[in-house]
Chains A and B, each alone.
Chain A
Amino acid sequence: MSEAIIRVEALGKLYRIGARQERYYTLRDTLTEALTRPFSKLSCLLGCNGVSPTISESAFIWALRDVSFEIKRGEVTGIIGRNGAGKSTLLKILSRITEPTTGFAELHGRVGSLLEVGTGFHPELTGRENIYLNGAFLGMKRAEIQRRFDEIVAFAEVERFVDTPVKHYSSGMYVRLAFGVAAHLEPEILLVDEVLAVGDADFQKKCLGKMGDVAAAGRTVLFVSHNMSAIEQLCPRALLFGHGHLVEQATTTEVLKHYLSDATASPDGNFDLAEHPARSREHLPVIRHLTLRSSNIHPDHIFYPDDTLIAEVTVVPPKPIRDPRVALAIEDCFGRRIMTLASYFQSDRLPDIDSPRRITCILPRLNLGSGRYLVSLSVCSKYDVIDGLHNAAWFEVGWRNNYGNGEPYQPFYGPIIAQSTWTTQDAPFA
């Protein structure tokens, strides 16, 4: 007997563009289509090269294509990829919410899916009632919920409000309760989608701890997240998705290396952005290139907290950009915004851009703790976004004995390294 608890073979999902969201048909649409279809067929016969005019190739999109993999029992696997890479579609298919178009998947065991926190919560019902209702939606038996009821309430820290309608809950309490129910599911296979994105830092830590327990209990977990450090912490192995394809299945360290450097693959601080994977089709590729470099040259292009960061953005405008505003946003690998550097924070405006131009931003002292940081950038004309890329580039800040006196700077001190001066005086009246 094979050890695979999840087996996925040539799985694919084809979406008709627009059909995924608000698009629905009215009876009239169907009637008109039924009436016009014979004629369009006829006109096809009369000569339109065999291409049906109603459904063109571009009206469909493969959200997932030809994906095959196996997951062994007890493995905790992270699923990473950019937005639209097919991660959520995969989980939706595995949890039987939607059907695949091709291929199949085999899951050996009870499947619990947690694609959203608080599925089926009803604001008018009390915390107690919602625990039962939500548990039932997630596939728990009544006896099972009863058995774990106190544990759930204790985890959510809502003991005093169990019999209050959840509409009176603070959003924090709501989320804690919802995650509490889900975290006490006991299926063999658990599918989790980005549920840690909600709640405050304390709560996230608690959730991560709970997820760790689940993993330690020998459950098989598939975990989708944009929180790279959570993935790194919880999942020994990971799957990397890109444009609906499975790009890589390997150890998390290996996969993360590829994900962060991605197609740009330039650890030298040069990022070619004209055809970058982070590029959306909404905008013309106005931002062509980004260079991140330090005032001091270090091997491996690592930055240090006391370095000056120099960012150079190359812009090729199709038409003149009036009142240009350029911004760089720096996020840590938790997806937390650390800082925003913007041209409009200074008093002098940038001159209008009517030809290819290089715009330079200087941050005199980086002051960031060690770790990886992701850079997003945008160019606006006054308030209209001309071009923008999310998490298009990254840089690494190295660890260093930061204060020159031997005092190491620890990651838990926070991402910003600030200089402060300390003195003492007499306090005669105390």
Chain B
Amino acid sequence: MKSTDSSPVFSIPVIRVQPSSGWVSLNLGALWEYRELLWFLVWRDLKVRYKQTVLGAAWAILQPFLTMVVFSVFLGRLANVPSDGIPYPLFAYCALLPWQLFAHVLTQSADSLVADKQLITKVYFPRLVIPISPVFSGLIDLAIAFILLLPMMFYYGVFPTSAIVALPLFLLLAMATALAVGLWLSALNVEYRDVRYTVPFLAQLWLFATPVAYPSSLVPEKWQALYGLNPMAGVVEGFRWALLGTQSLPTPTILASSLAALTILVTGAFYFRRMERTFADVI
């Protein structure tokens, strides 16, 4: 489906509706035009999530905090998992920040299109808005959870180095990874409802494959690049390096992760756009 703005005399938008075939352009212009809708969806998501809850937005801190406590007690203390010389609670909490974002998008986006079925069959808007919105609501949760990290760092006497300027880049990588997986899952779930059953399982497996509870330095040197093909590995290690100043940046892992994230993101976006035209009929 195409919509082009092309009227030389009057600036009236001309919308042309016609069958499309094969791969279609991403049409990012239309996405930009609907940026307000994206903002409203993010806002709806946050508002609805914390309405009629006692703790409200404190949930955004509580979840990573409790996970951190459990990890610290069982893995850090009892199982003696190494933590690259950083106090284990800090080590785990720092990794949980991007992980929570990723897990949030993973679970939200898989069902997002089907949950908004009513919208998809009744009103037009760029469908990409739907899988993108959990990335931003997850980002706001991350910002809230970040507040706890500062007193923790102060408590353990860990102070950020100049590497902190790279944090926005890793945040961007985290968002790209989350969106990439979200695009694939949401588009697949429209046609294959198997997807939603695999998501909790997938999230669990992915957590084990990501250095959240353990350092990636446990992985042998020659496997580092391969390990980095899990883009979340690069994200988590990058976060630790930028915030806590771990000795060295695992460059091969980061590079592999960035490449992997980009590949999944681009293919995911095109796959999504390709499937988009049948959403209203199949959903």
Judged by a CB distance under 8 angstroms, whether A1 is at the interface is yes
Q: For chain B, which range describes its interface: under 10, 10 to 19, 20 to 34, or 35 or more residues?
A: 35 or more
> Which residues of B sit under 8 angstroms from A93, Cβ to Cβ?
17
Decide if A80 is an interface residue (CB 8 Å cutoff). no
Q: Which of B12, B18, B191 contacts A108 (CB 8 A)?
A: B12
Task: Decide: A139 and B125 in contact? CB cutoff 8 A.
Answer: yes
Q: Are B191 and A133 in contact (CB under 8 A)?
A: no
Q: How far is the CB of A363 from chain B (nearest CB, A)?
A: 42
State the CA gap A151–B52 with chains docked (Å): 30
- B122 at interface by CB-CB < 8 Å: yes
Q: How far is the CA of A99 from the CA of B36 in the complex (A)?
A: 25
CB atoms of B282 and A133 under 8 A apart = no
Q: Is A276 part of the binding interface, using a Cβ–Cβ cutoff of 8 Å?
A: no
The complex places the Cα of A138 from the Cα of B53 at a distance, in Å, of 30
Shortest Cβ gap from B73 to chain A (Å): 36
Contact A116 B122 (CB under 8 A): yes
Q: Which of A1, A110, A124, A137 contacts B125 (CB 8 A)?
A: A137
The stretch of A24-32, A202-210, A259-267 in contact with B is A24-32
Tell me the nearest residue of chain B to A1, going by C-beta.
Answer: B9
Q: 0/1 per residue, B31-52, Cβ < 8 Å to A?
A: 0001011001000100110011
Q: Is the CB of B48 within 8 A of A125?
A: yes
* CB pair A119 B47 closer than 8 Å: no
A414 at the interface (CB under 8 A from B): no
Q: Mark contacts of A90-101 with chain B using CB atoms, 8 A cut-off: 1 yes-contact digit, 0 otherwise.
A: 001111111111
Contact B124 A113 (CB under 8 A): yes
Q: Closest approach, in angstroms, between the C-beta of B50 and any C-beta of chain A?
A: 10
CA–CA, A20 and B282, complex, Å: 6
B196 to chain A, nearest CB (A): 11
Contacts of B124 in A (CB 8 A): 95-97, 111, 113, 139
Stretch from B84-92, B113-121, B161-169, B223-231 that touches the partner: B113-121
B259-283, CB under 8 A of A: which get 1 and which 0?
0000000000000000001101111
**Is there a chain B Cβ closer than 8 Å to A141's Cβ?**
yes
Q: Is B204 close to A, CB under 8 A?
A: no
Most buried by B among A97, A124, A132: A97
- Closest Cβ of chain A: how far from B271's Cβ, in Å? 15
Inter-subunit contact A101/B19 (CB<8 Å):
yes
Contact A26 B123 (CB under 8 A): no
Q: Given the complex, which residues of A lie within 8 Å of B17, measured CB to CB?
A: 93-94, 96, 99-100, 104-107
Is B74 located at the chain interface by the 8 A CB criterion? no
Q: What is the distance, in angstroms, from A123's C-beta to the closest C-beta of chain B?
A: 9
Chain A residues with Cβ below 8 Å from B122 are 97, 115-116, 119
| 30 A-B pairs (CB sep. < 8 Å) | A24-B190, A24-B193, A26-B193, A26-B194, A27-B192, A27-B194, A92-B121, A96-B1, A98-B277, A98-B280, A99-B18, A99-B19, A99-B277, A103-B18, A103-B19, A104-B18, A105-B17, A106-B14, A107-B14, A107-B15, A108-B12, A111-B124, A116-B122, A124-B48, A124-B51, A124-B52, A132-B40, A137-B37, A142-B36, A165-B51
Beyond A15-B281, A124-B48: 18 further Cβ-contacts under 8 Å?
A20-B281, A24-B283, A25-B192, A92-B280, A97-B120, A103-B18, A107-B14, A108-B7, A108-B12, A109-B13, A113-B124, A120-B118, A122-B44, A125-B47, A133-B40, A136-B40, A137-B125, A188-B12
